[in-house]
């Protein structure tokens, strides 16, 4: 599934440094605004200990992890919604992503300039959120003008439904709230809301980029951000991008583990961020496992068996007969598919089965 998370933030907050830690694609990282002009794209593997354990048990010829696409988007400045800086390009690139990783500078360093002259992550967050809200308000108002005419013309139920959704969004945006804070009920309403592609309707995670000393416990800036987004209910993740870049340069896992232990960290912030981004998109994983290949397949939470089969190949969904399902814990405990079958632990599921995170699947189909 080609789902994208966009890394956004003001210039010089650590976006490209973070991106370089996440991906083998190396973005330019420099102490001046707009060093990232074109969006850099990296496909990154999702760390998953379950996949590693299945590989140990199956000893396959190949291993394919789940992935998430990360896009490093050029820094934004105040007035972007009106075309300031690289505003139009920035906003267009965000529109193409499925979720937003919003990087905030939460460290002091006189050697790294700040576009507004001082460190204030809440102000920085509000700058970007305001620009996104203004752009969304333009989108809503343009659509609203057309929809009002259609709704007044007669008994157009669709237009009236759309009008209600648009008015709810307009009210929220004029109050300085993100579109995602509006509760939309009804399948048709939800479908229309998605088709608007509003920037502030995308799920967001705030990443507080701190100094080395604050990597474990955070600092006053992180607490300010936490307080500012409490009502929004968005995720917050704290990491030190500079430290993460040093970890990424180490050659072996043993060296990385020792480095993390010295820092007082259980695992790298990058690993936590990748998993959080995966969760932010409401994604889960099922596995196929055998001697030829152990593979993690990405699916949206709530997906039923035929649609999950279609992720492998459309023919699997078209000719779906049944799914043979092994729970991960049973596979690991018993050690093999054969042992699971002998123990009567393999489930046979039909078209209404909702695939669960960690399921090991085998699909039967006929086309």
pLDDT in tens, 129-141: 988 899 899 999 9
Asked whether the whole model's pTM tops 0.75, one would answer yes
Burial class (CB in 10 A: 0-12, 13-18, 19+), 187: exposed
Collect all residues with Cβ–Cβ distance below 8 Å to 20 and sequence separation of at least 6: 26, 27, 29, 245, 248
Q: Which residues of 230-261 are buried (b: 16+ CB within 10 A; e: fewer)?
A: eeeebbbbbbbbbbbbebbeeeeeeebbebbe
CA distance 189 to 195: 10
Using the predicted structure, report yes or no on whether residue 309 has a pLDDT greater than 60. yes
Cα 278 to Cα 4, 67, 99, 205, 310: the distances in Å are: 10, 8, 10, 11, 20
Which pLDDT score, from 0 to 100, does residue 31 have? 42
Question: Which of 15-24, 262-271, 356-365 is the most confident on average?
Answer: 356-365
Using the predicted structure, report yes or no on whether residue 335 has a pLDDT greater than 70. yes
Residue with tokens 């599934």: 1
Using the predicted structure, report yes or no on whether residue 171 has a pLDDT greater than 80. yes
Copy the structure tokens of residue 15.
């976006």
Burial class (CB in 10 A: 0-12, 13-18, 19+), 211: middle
Which of residues 148 and 220 earns the better pLDDT score?
220
Cα 289 to Cα 52, 53, 189, 251, 335: the distances in Å are: 11, 11, 40, 29, 12
Using the predicted structure, report yes or no on whether residue 275 has a pLDDT greater than 70. yes
Using the predicted structure, report yes or no on whether residue 3 has a pLDDT greater than 80. no
Question: Which of 7-11, 186-190, 344-348 is the most confident on average?
Answer: 344-348
Which pLDDT score, from 0 to 100, does residue 155 have? 64
- Mean pLDDT throughout 233-245? 88
Residue with tokens 């896992």: 253
Using the predicted structure, report yes or no on whether residue 60 has a pLDDT greater than 50. yes
Which pLDDT score, from 0 to 100, does residue 32 have? 39
CA proximity to 200, closest of 137, 273, 144: 137
């Amino acid at each position: 599934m080609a789902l994208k998370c966009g890394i956004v933030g003001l210039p010089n907050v650590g976006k490209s440094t973070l991106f370089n830690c996440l991906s083998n694609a190396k973005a330019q990282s420099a102490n001046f605004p707009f060093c990232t002009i074109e969006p850099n794209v990296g496909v990154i593997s999702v760390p998953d200990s379950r996949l590693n354990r299945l590989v140990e048990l199956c000893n396959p010829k190949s291993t394919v992890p789940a992935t998430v696409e990360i896009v490093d988007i050029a820094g934004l400045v105040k007035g972007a919604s009106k075309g300031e800086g690289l505003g139009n390009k920035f906003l267009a690139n965000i529109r193409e992503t499925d979720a937003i990783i919003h990087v905030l500078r939460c460290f002091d360093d006189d050697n790294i300039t700040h576009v507004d002259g001082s460190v204030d992550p809440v102000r920085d967050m509000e700058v970007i959120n305001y620009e996104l809200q203004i752009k969304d308000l333009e989108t809503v108002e343009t659509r609203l003008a057309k929809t009002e005419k259609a709704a007044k013309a007669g008994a157009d139920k669709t237009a009236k439904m759309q009008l209600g959704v648009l008015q709810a969004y307009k009210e929220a945006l004029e109050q300085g709230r993100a579109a995602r804070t509006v509760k939309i009920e009804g399948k048709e309403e939800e479908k229309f809301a998605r088709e608007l592609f509003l920037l502030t309707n995308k799920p967001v995670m705030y990443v507080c980029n701190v100094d080395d000393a604050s990597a474990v416990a955070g600092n006053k800036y992180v607490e300010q951000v936490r307080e500012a987004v409490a009502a929004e209910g968005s995720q917050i993740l704290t990491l030190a991008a500079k430290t993460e870049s040093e970890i990424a340069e180490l050659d072996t896992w043993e060296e990385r583990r020792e480095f993390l232990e010295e820092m007082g960290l259980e695992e790298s912030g990058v690993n936590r961020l990748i998993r959080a981004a995966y969760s932010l998109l409401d994604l889960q994983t099922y596995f196929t496992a055998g001697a030829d290949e152990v593979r993690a397949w990405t699916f949206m939470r709530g997906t039923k068996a035929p649609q999950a089969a279609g992720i492998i190949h459309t023919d699997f969904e078209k000719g779906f007969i049944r799914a043979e399902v092994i729970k991960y814990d049973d596979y690991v405990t018993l050690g093999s598919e054969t042992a699971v079958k002998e123990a009567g632990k393999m489930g046979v599921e039909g078209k209404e089965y909702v695939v669960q995170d960690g399921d090991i699947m085998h699909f039967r189909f006929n086309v």
